[in-house]
Amino acid sequence: MTNRVAITRVSAGDTEAAVREAVRLAGGFNEIIHSNSKVLIKPNQCKPMPRHSGFMTDGDVVEAVTKLVLELNPASVVIGDGAIAGWDFGGFSTQEAFDSSGVTEVARRLGVELRNLNTDPSEEVRVPNALVMDTVRIARTALTSDVIISVPVLKTSSRTHASLSFKNMKGVMPGAEKRKSHHLGLDMAIVDLCTAVRPHYAIIDATVGAQGLGQYPEDSIEMGLIVAGSDALYVDIVGASLMGIDPSQVMHFHYMGEREGKRAALDAVDMVGERLGDHRRVFATGFDAFRANYPEVNFVEDESACTGCTNELVSAISFMKKAGYGEHMTGLTVVIGTVTETEAKDKDKVVALGKCAARLPGAAAYIPGCPPKEAEMVRGIAKACRADAESVIAMMAEERKKVWDASSSVLER
Ligand code: SF4
């Protein structure tokens, strides 16, 4: 594993050439794939969407990666993923996702097995030095693979700003197990998951990216790039930077770096190929799009605000509204990061989130923790808005149970 990350450009529509060049510049597969290796290629097949929409890894990129792997004659090659089992929405069909991205056709053409990881046999594994998930259920295909190549698409996330190679690994958590990661705090759960099944190589399909809350087609962004490297942490840092996201604001990068003794920053990356600065764009993050839907709430943040707080906040605010407290939130100010003063109109309705905002004077509620727990956030916001927190928390639990029960049958498809 090295800190080298390559960016290549897709010229004249030749995706395969761009993938080959990116992997070559990043140091190739020779050190990780041997004749006895069992290889899992893990694209992002989260839900059925049109090709080249930026929401799923496209079949062209999966094909190029699979061909490169097959050229090394490993013992076995499987392409596998399990579609989303939503926290606040139902599940999707993995097979339909494979079909719509072109991956079913790629697997057939190359004679490689395609596996639905939602229905794969799974095992509960212990996570050493877990942050939030002492144990996690993982598809056996991932556990028995010697080499995992994470092949995400370049997109944002409403919860973690960037959904790249590490977050892509959620697909190896079968079915409703994926929800556990949201319930416990997504960023830290991603770190625990990737401690159990860390990708050995990462290749981002940055041909087309997706921003905001993922409305198609308006949120798709043409990029024409491939990003590759043997260390998913550095690959994801480059991917986030291409979307104009400050890597220091993505909490799971920070925790993964801490866990592995690495500096999770762009200047720690050995960049090769295309210059990042020539291709950097400003993607709206999912949180930006979420915030625009709540003009009645004033979100105040500085550059120290990270996804640990914004992730939980998205749920807390959404459920306050679902529980009928939308009007109560008018004039609410939520402070994230090391902000020490605000110009809130309604001083009684200021909520300070997490240890970063602990020094803000005069807030109606301080929510402890880093990140604070979702229920504590609801309690603090409800206190400032004079709402009944326990009814919101009860509704959250009830709704989630309903979705859990409903989607378990969907996930068997
Ligand atoms: S308190 Fe919140 S914003 Fe600050 S580091 Fe912790 S999770 Fe991030």
The answer on pLDDT for 411 being more than 70 is no
User: Which pLDDT score is estimated for 91?
Assistant: 72
Ligand 1 close to Cβ of residue 360 (< 6 A): no
Prior bond to 217 cis, omega within 30?
A: yes
Are 62 and 104 in contact by the 8 Å Cβ rule? The answer is no
pTM of the predicted model, to two decimals? 0.92
Ligand 1 close to Cβ of residue 250 (< 6 A): no
Residue 370 CA: nearest ligand 1 atom is: 6
Share of the chain above pLDDT 90, in %: 79
Distance 188 CA to ligand 1 centre (A): 12
**102-113: per-residue pLDDT in tens?**
999 999 999 999
**78-110: per-residue pLDDT in tens?**
999 999 875 555 678 899 999 999 999 999 999
Show the CA angle centred on residue 236, arms to residues 230 and 222, nearest 5°: 115
**287-341: per-residue pLDDT in tens?**
888 999 999 999 999 989 998 898 889 889 999 999 999 999 999 999 999 988 8
Ligand 1 close to Cβ of residue 185 (< 6 A): no
**39-56: per-residue pLDDT in tens?**
999 999 999 999 999 999
Burial, 215: exposed, middle or buried (Cβ in 10 Å; 0-12, 13-18, 19+)?
exposed
Can you give the chain as a three-state secondary structure string? CCCEEEEEECCCCCHHHHHHHHHHHCCCCCCCCCCCCEEEEEECCCCCCCCCCCCCCCHHHHHHHHHHHHCCCCCEEEEEECCCECCCCCECCHHHHHHHHCHHHHHHHHCCEEEECCCCCEEEEECCCCCCCCEEEEEHHHHCCCEEEEECEEEEECCCEEECHHHHHHHHCCCCHHHHHHHHCHHHHHHHHHHHCCCCEEEEEEEEEECCCCCCCCCEEEEEEEEEECCHHHHHHHHHHHCCCCHHHCHHHHHHHHHHCCCCCHHHCEEEECCHHHCCCCCCCHHHHHHHCCCCCEEEECCCCCHHHHHHHHHHHHHHHHHHHCHHHCCCEEEECCCCCCCCCCHHHEEEECHHHHHCCCCCEEECCCCCCHHHHHHHHHHHHCCCHHHHHHHHHHHHHHHHHHHHHHCCC
**138-181: per-residue pLDDT in tens?**
999 999 999 999 999 999 988 899 999 999 999 999 877 887 77
User: Which pLDDT score is estimated for 196?
Assistant: 97
Distance 370 CA to ligand 1 centre (A): 5
Distance 134 CA to ligand 1 centre (A): 22
User: Which pLDDT score is estimated for 88?
Assistant: 53
Ligand 1 close to Cβ of residue 335 (< 6 A): no
The answer on pLDDT for 413 being more than 50 is no
* Mean pLDDT of all residues belonging to the chain: 92
Treating both helix axes as pointing N-terminal to C-terminal, what angle do 186-196 and 251-260 enclose, rounded to 10 degrees?
Answer: 40
**222-246: per-residue pLDDT in tens?**
999 999 999 999 999 999 999 999 9
- Looking at residues 260-276, what average pLDDT do you find? 98
Distance 166 CA to ligand 1 centre (A): 20
User: Which pLDDT score is estimated for 250?
Assistant: 95
> 132-136, 327-331, 358-362: which range is least confident on average?
358-362
**64-75: per-residue pLDDT in tens?**
999 999 999 999
Ligand 1 close to Cβ of residue 309 (< 6 A): yes
- Length of the chain equals 413
